[in-house]
Amino acid sequence: MASVDVPVALLGYGTVGAAVHRLLEQNAEDIERATGHRLRVVHALVRDPGKERGFAAGEGVLTTDFASILEDESVTLVAEVMGGVEPTGGYVLDLLRAGKPVVTANKQLLARRSTELFATAAEAGVQMRFEASVCAAIPVIKVLRESLVVTNVHRVLGIVNGTTNFILTRMESGAAYQDALAEAQRLGYAEADPTDDVSGADSAAKMAILASVAFGSRVELADVSYEGIDRLRPEHVEAARSLGAVVRLVGTATLVDGAVDVRVGPALVDRHHPLASVEGPFNAVMLQGDAIRELMLEGPGAGGLETASAVVADMVSVLGTTGTGFLQGDACWRSLPKLPPGELPAPYYVHIEVADRPGVLAHVAARFADEGVSIARLAQHVVNGSAALDVVTHTAPSGRVATALDAIARLPEVHGLPDALRVIDERGI
């Protein structure tokens, strides 16, 4: 049977876009054998056609004119790999309205404008796929949407940023934060401006997407509480080691009595928990649900080639379906309330620097007791010439822990604000 020629276009031709083109060219026969289609890049939207590229685009492929893609009726599939929210969002909406399926790797766009994008795709009867937007080569979206469609996933744990995971792994080996960040930049794991990574914003966007798909209810970036790793100090890493744990930037999406909570922040992960073994620039997503108990997917979560492989996989998936495709309507089929702030229960690790005099421990314990927060473990030691308390609480609502810490911070013998990190030690099995 003769293969079907499929002209495709790319929005963007940087590291990922060039890698997508290279994979399509080098694997054309494999794709054709599997699908009966041959994907051929005919347009790639760029700002500067004269810029040197990682893979030659070919004569006449590069263009600065978006209309040349939108108005080309032969283009039946577009991959968006340019990033950003605008003008990218407008381009994607125009393509969907024109009946052209879109594959995107753009986490920020999806985390901010998914309602409008999926509504437009559904109205036009075309697909929008987004596997590469979360963990690059790890097929977690496909697993959630297809393999686990009736599993009733109630919790998602994710190490979804390779930059921060690399930095934290190096800090475990004794590197200072700034030195670990500089090394990540030198190796290409971190951008020149690493703000989105180290602040937790990148992870928050990815967790918004994962929560939306896992729970079938819209979660946007504004719904995610997040903090990063830029305030972590060596004593946090040392305290984790002494407690048989490691520090990781962990995103959690939890379904509690029909309400959704999504957050990202540094956490102490028990050494026996599977996420503790995820090191370097790797990502991992753990899914917990009624039918599966626990499932973890791990692999490279960043990089041009890894992201490109997920983009190409989505492009091939579009070829194998028609209309909006099986499970390609909006993943969000219901509206769930957000869990009120402060109600998510969890154990916490708390670091408190105090004056080294009698009675301090009793005063601290009393403030926890006032909020019904019980202490599971406590260690006292000297840091920077002052006494320090490392406290691990039993599971308690985060709001009660925060109120106790506010009261503790006001004690005259307490130096500065206490630090609090969630503790992750529970398994789904």
Q: For residue 288, what is the enclosing H or E element?
A: strand 282-289
Contact of 163 with 302, CB cutoff 8 Å:
yes
**CB contact at 8 A, 416 and 375:** no
Whether 283 and 161 have beta carbons less than 8 Å apart is answered as yes
Burial class, 350, CB count within 10 angstroms (exposed 0-12 / middle 13-18 / buried 19+): buried
DSSP 8-state class, residue 56: -
Distance CA 379, CA 243 (A): 10
Residues taking part in catalysis: 206
Which residue(s) pair with 45 in the sheet?
Answer: 11, 63
* Spatial contact of 356 and 339, defined as CB atoms under 8 Å apart: no
Taking each helix axis from N to C end, the angle separating 88-97 and 107-124, rounded to the nearest 10 degrees, works out to 20
**Phi-psi bin for 177: left (phi > 0), alpha (psi -120 to 50), beta?**
alpha
Name the residue among 124, 149, 105 with its Cα closest to residue 291. 149
User: By CB neighbour count within 10 A (0-12 exposed, 13-18 middle, 19+ buried), where does 365 fall?
Assistant: middle
- The span from the CA of 352 to the CA of 290, in Å, is 38
CB 4 within 8 A of CB 38: yes
